[in-house]
Amino acid sequence: MPINVVLLGFGTVGESVYRTIASHQDGLRKILGTEIVVKGVLVKDARKPRNIASDVLVTTDFKKLLELPKIDAAIEAIVGVEPAYTYGVKFLNAGIPVITANKEMAAHKGEKLRREADANGTEFHFEAAVAGGIPIIAVLNQLLHANRVSKIEGILNGTSNFILSTMRGEGISFDEALKRAQRNGYAEADPSNDILGKDSFYKLMIISELVFGKQPEWKKVECTGINELSIKDFEEASAGGQRIKLVASIGKDEDGNITAAVEPQSLNETHPLYHVEGVDNGIVVHTDLLGRLFLQGPGAGGLPTASAILEDLTQHFQKNPNPKPFREASKVRAIH
Ligand code: NAP
Ligand code: HSE
């Protein structure tokens, strides 16, 4: 039996997932012992031309997607908290695992969705929601159990790092650099979340839940973007041999309170994040046993994000080789 999936969203991420499932089908079949078949795609605008096989249901009606027979996983790559959260809950209620790239939704509702997944004997995955293709969620969730993490610092937004790097490296304007980031598929549909630091903030809150078991009070987290930087800031940084980076950091103070911030920082050459350029993200994890672990890789764009989603998908079905039979969403509530 194939593994049947549905895609919510067919933008930069959704389309890359669709194409990557096709281009990597042979390898996936070897790993999973069966093929992955995209059965349906949910979009917002039915009139947009799309290159999707004719036997795939393309719809703007979520109910039609949910009514497809035998769906084994839902891949969510739409924008914002709603309707993504409501759709996620409906799939989980039907016993269908949800894999998301949507960090805004995961930061707001991740904890609820994990509980919903547990209650229905399924799973909620969100590797693609943090730091693009870098497998930071797997590292924190699966590989650093014995270690006590004391602090994490990261460049978590590919768009703003691309803007800062290209402005400095090529001398182009902020607006031109942002346009390039949009053309490359790095920026959000509304790029204000990228440049105001909110996108980094959401990712930091997801990390906080994993590492410290909860999020800090949002209003106590300083969140400054790159939009307020002046020419003078850049000149001063380069005169001092420094580079300005949008750094998201989280740790605990002496009283055990979580402290977090997103802010531009001038970093010296000795700092590992100084060397993270372009669309790359970088994450420094400080732990008691390991010391300092540094991860770097592409933080945005279709392929790196599809990579994270496909890794979630393959890991899920390696762990759960026999997809559960589809349950109708309406019947599930009665069970609990
Ligand atoms: P995008 O290019 O703007 O695509 C969004 C897709 O979602 C479009 O296909 C759109 O439909 C569909 N959509 C939006 N609202 C919808 C709704 N209410 N109902 C049904 N479909 C809806 O965005 P993207 O860059 O692919 O990003 C998708 C998600 O992944 C976002 O949450 C983003 O934060 C996250 N993400 C993006 C990246 C990246 O590098 N781009 C990386 C990691 C995570 P139409 O095509 O009809 O407009
Ligand atoms: N807009 C986001 C970024 C996409 O630039 O980092 C990846 O989450």
pLDDT of residue 329: 40
Which pLDDT value is given to residue 317? 96
Strands 73-76 and 291-298: unpaired
Instruction: Indicate the top mutation candidate among 16, 78, 137, 157 to test ligand 2's pocket, ranked by most ligand atoms within 8 A of CB.
Output: 157
Candidates 47, 56, 79, 194: which one to mutate for ligand 1, based on the most atoms within 8 Å of Cβ?
Answer: 79
Q: 129 CB under 6 A from ligand 2? A: no
Residues of the chain with pLDDT under 70: 322-336
Indicate if 219 belongs to the active site: no
Domains and CATH numbers, the chain: 3-133+302-324 (3.40.50.720), 136-298 (3.30.360.10)
pTM metric for this prediction: 0.95
Q: State if residue 297 touches ligand 2 by the CB under 6 angstroms criterion.
A: no
pLDDT of residue 324: 54
| Residues with a CB atom less than 6 Å from ligand 1 | 9-14, 42-45, 48, 77-79, 83, 101-103, 128, 132, 185-186, 188-189, 300-301, 305
pLDDT of residue 323: 61
DSSP secondary structure string for all residues of 76-130: E--SSSTTHHHHHHHHHHTT--EEE--HHHHHHHHHHHHHHHHHTT--EE-GGGS
For 266-285, write each residue's pLDDT tens digit: 999 999 999 999 999 999 99
Look at residue 306 in the predicted model and tell me its pLDDT.
98
